[in-house]
């Protein structure tokens, strides 16, 4: 994968994420973690190579079929990508709304999830009034509201305290337990170690040997 005439960001990478698996994606800044996630959630197209999701080759996927595939993928963006003109509740309800569901069918789900991530008292607020941690929790709520088949998260615990980080990890583990395939890009070694889940490591755009994590459990 390369951007324009730049050197390749990702090269010679080959791996398989089995359905229902849970992986962490680690590596130093600039190693290509975000680009790899972008390729999976179809924000970028690979300049060479082959990516297959749900048995479909993305290079052969028709443009009209891409939205249907995207609806099965929940994404927590590093920069949140919240819609500033919409309230917390409207942001969290975005995916079911776009999926064509009636508001009455998902109102209570959205309210329950927002309460669960600690935004029950902020449902009416606008994103500009939220702290970094609150924005991150809202981004997570938006990504998981549709119970996606694949959950991708780019540094999802970067702006929350440890207690909330482990709470979020439990949410991801719960989604994984009910069948979602989870891939989380993270620098949080404590979180990775605590989860006990397998790791895919990148270094300068290539798969790297996985470093051993401190097996000592976290709080």
Partner 1 sequence: MSLAFDPAKWWPAPLLPRRDGRDWALLFVVAALSFLAGLAAVGALAGERAAQGWRSELTGSATVIVRAQGTDTPDEAAARAEETVAGVRGVAQALPLDAAKTQALLAPWIGPGGLPPDLPTPRLIAVELDPKAPASGEAIRQALKAAGLDADVDDHSRWAAQIMRAGVAVEVAGASLFALILAVLGAVIAFATRQGLAARRDVVEALHLAGATDGYIARLFQARFARSAAQAGLAGALLAAAAAAALKLSSAGDEQLTALLPIAWRDLIAPAPFPVLGALVAAVTARMTAMAALAGRP
Rule CB under 8 A: say whether 45 interacts with partner 1.
Answer: yes
Question: Site for partner 1 (CB under 8 A): which residue of 7, 14, 29, 108?
Answer: 108
Rule CB under 8 A: say whether 51 interacts with partner 1.
Answer: no
Q: Which is nearer to partner 1, 143 or 193 (CB)?
A: 143
**Alpha-carbon gap, residue 121 to 183, rounded angstroms:** 30
Q: Which is nearer to partner 1, 90 or 188 (CB)?
A: 90
208 touches 201 (CB < 8 A): yes
Q: Which is nearer to partner 1, 16 or 84 (CB)?
A: 84
Q: How big is the chain, counted in residues?
A: 219
Q: What is the 3-state secondary structure (H, E, C) of 130-162?
A: CCHHHHHHHHHHHHHCCCCCEEEEECCCCCCCH
Selection from 92, 95, 97 nearest residue 118 by Cα: 92
Rule CB under 8 A: say whether 141 interacts with partner 1.
Answer: no
Q: What is the binding site for partner 1 (CB under 8 A)?
A: 41-45, 63-64, 67-68, 70-71, 75, 81-83, 85-87, 89-90, 93-95, 97-99, 103, 107-108, 110-111, 120-124, 142
């Amino acid at each position: 994968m390369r951007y324009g005439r730049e050197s390749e960001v990702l090269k010679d990478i080959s791996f398989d994420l089995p359905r229902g698996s849970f992986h962490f994606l680690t590596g130093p800044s600039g190693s290509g973690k975000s680009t790899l996630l972008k390729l999976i959630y179809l924000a970028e197209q690979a300049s060479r190579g082959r990516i297959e999701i749900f048995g479909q080759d993305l290079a052969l996927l028709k443009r009209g079929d891409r939205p249907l595939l995207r609806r099965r993928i929940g994404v927590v963006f590093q920069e949140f990508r919240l819609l500033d003109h919409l309230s917390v509740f409207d942001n969290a309800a975005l995916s079911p709304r776009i999926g064509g569901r009636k508001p009455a069918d998902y109102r209570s789900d959205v309210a329950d999830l927002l309460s669960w991530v600690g935004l029950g008292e902020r449902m009416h607020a606008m994103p500009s009034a939220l702290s970094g941690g609150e924005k991150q929790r809202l981004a997570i709520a938006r990504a998981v509201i549709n119970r996606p088949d694949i959950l991708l998260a780019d540094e999802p615990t970067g702006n929350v305290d440890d207690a909330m980080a482990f709470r979020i990890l439990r949410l991801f583990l719960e989604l994984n337990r009910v069948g979602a395939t989870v891939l989380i890009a993270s620098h949080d070694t404590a979180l990775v170690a605590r989860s006990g889940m397998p790791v895919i490591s990148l270094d300068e755009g290539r798969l790297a040997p996985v470093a051993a994590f401190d097996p000592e459990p976290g709080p």
